[in-house]
Each structure stands twice: as C-alpha cells, then as structure tokens.
Amino acid sequence: MILAKENAMIKQLNEKCSRSILVYSDAIMLVEFRFKKGGVGEAHKHADHEQVGYIAKGSFELTVGDEKRIVCAGDSYYAARNVLHGVVALEDDSVIIDTFTPKRDDFLL
C-alpha cells in the first residue's frame, strides 16, 4: 500500500498538536505528530503497543520511563509496552514521526 500525504487521516488534537495517520496495516502504523511551541504529548503508556519515534523537526523535552532529556531533529526513542512516556514541544512546527506495533485502533475512530 502506498499513500500520498494528501490522503493522510489528519486530526487536530488541540490548538497546539495534530496527528496524521500516514499508513498502516494490522501489524504496524506510521503517524506524524505536529506541535506548536508548548504543545504537550501527555505522559501515558500502552499496554498493547510498542512505539518507536523519530524527531523529524524541531526539539522536545522527552520523557521515557525515568529518563528525561532534550531531543532534536535526528534523535529517536523507543517506548516499550507499559513504559510511561510523553513530550513537550520547545519550538513551533516541531514534528515527531511515530511507529506503533500493532496498529493503534483507537486512532482510527
């Protein structure tokens, strides 16, 4: 399956964050998150999903488990099942590309 960006499923989550589902199968999902400065990806954990993220643009304060650091374009992270993780955008137009396995059915609602 090949999907063009203009066909992405985009959802405005709040005034500072949006989510675009880029492509997925039952086993995996690729998602782009866009943030304005101060936008928050609330700390949360997944019982059924593993997550790998890539900072495509901008910078964030990232927390994964007990580790907190500033990450910027080119950095990446892994959040295992049941590990608390979240971000705060430090710049406008900051972008994270996340991969989830298996796909996030809740994102498709």
Question: Which tens digits make up the pLDDT trace of 13-25?
Answer: 999 999 999 999 9
How high is the pLDDT of residue 2?
66
Domain residue ranges of the chain, discontinuous segments joined by +:
9-108
- CB-CB neighbours of 47 under 10 Å: 6
The pLDDT value given to residue 7: 74
State which residues of the chain have pLDDT below 70. Answer: 1-2
pLDDT of residue 75: 98
Alpha helices by DSSP H, listed for 1-109, are none
Note the pLDDT of residue 91. 98
Task: State the pLDDT at residue 104.
Answer: 96
Task: Could you please state the CATH topology (level 3) that the domain comprising 9-108 is classified under.
Answer: Jelly Rolls (2.60.120)
| Sign of the dihedral defined by the CA atoms of residues 42, 96, 83, 77, in that order | negative
First CA to last CA distance, the chain = 21
What pLDDT shows up at residue 1? Answer: 65
